[in-house]
Amino acid sequence: MEEKAHKQEKIVSMFDDIAPTYDTANRVMSMGVDISWRKKACNLSFEMYAKDTLERIVDVACGTGDMMGFWKKQAQKAGIAIGELVGVDPSRGMLEVAKEKFPEFSYHTAKATEIPLENESADILSITYGIRNVVERQEALYEFNRVLKRGGLVVILEFMKDENKTLLKKVRDIYLHKILPYVGGLISKNLEAYTYLPNSIENFVTIQGMHTELDKAGFDILYTQSFSMDISTLIIAKKR
């Protein structure tokens, strides 16, 4: 348990360090493609939930608030009213940036396993490129289930481990392991943080593994799709 706690603290400290340059590094490394992935996640979720008014959307591991901004923007385009948008993240550095960008949202400094919200109080809970950094992942999924209303959606965007290495995926891996760390390291002045990214993907679960963990936590899978040479995967699941 102590080892897991130490590992989680180290990850949070790393994100504190890169918070000021995080948005710039993300946009450069993804060449802006992540914007379309995030919009699709929001739009599909609204279609599947099929309600005009939502009491609360929670974004866990919200970082600098990007996904919350997309939830707000896409909801406005779809004519959907959201009562409250809540960001949860253990990194104070990241939340400081988020609060400057989006002061209208609510925030909690907390881990994914200890969300300070009431039972069954959220319509949608998202975690974008953050579940990979949660050491006690299964416990976090149980916590997501607790916070969501019955029939509520959990929305995951993540870099999943892939055991089937096609030629295109080998090209992707060259980018992730040989190019991305140096680009991110140059922008953030923290090479270690961006070396962590490809290594964390290799140590993560496959899509099927994620499906199994979600099922165990009380969710039914509604939708799964991978984008851009399977670099990023979107999973939407409903609380049973």
Q: What is the DSSP string of 195-206?
A: HHHHHHHHTS--
CA-CA-CA-CA torsion for 96, 111, 150, 219, nearest 10 degrees? 120
What residue ranges define each of the domains in the chain, with the CATH number in brackets? 2-239 (3.40.50.150)
Q: Say how far residue 72 (Cα) sits from the centre of its chain.
A: 16
Per-residue pLDDT of the chain in tens (240 residues, 90 and over written 9)? 668 887 888 888 888 888 787 777 777 666 678 899 999 999 999 999 999 999 999 999 999 999 999 999 999 999 999 999 999 999 999 999 999 999 999 999 999 999 999 999 999 999 998 999 999 999 999 999 999 999 999 999 998 877 666 676 677 677 777 777 777 778 778 878 778 777 787 778 999 999 999 999 999 999 999 886 677 899 999 999
Q: Whole-prediction pTM value?
A: 0.89
β-bridge partners, 223: 236
Beta-carbon count within 10 A of 220 CB: 10
Cα(174)–Cα(179) distance, integer angstroms:
7
Cα(58)–Cα(193) distance, integer angstroms:
26
CB 123 within 8 A of CB 55: yes
Q: Say how far residue 162 (Cα) sits from the centre of its chain.
A: 18
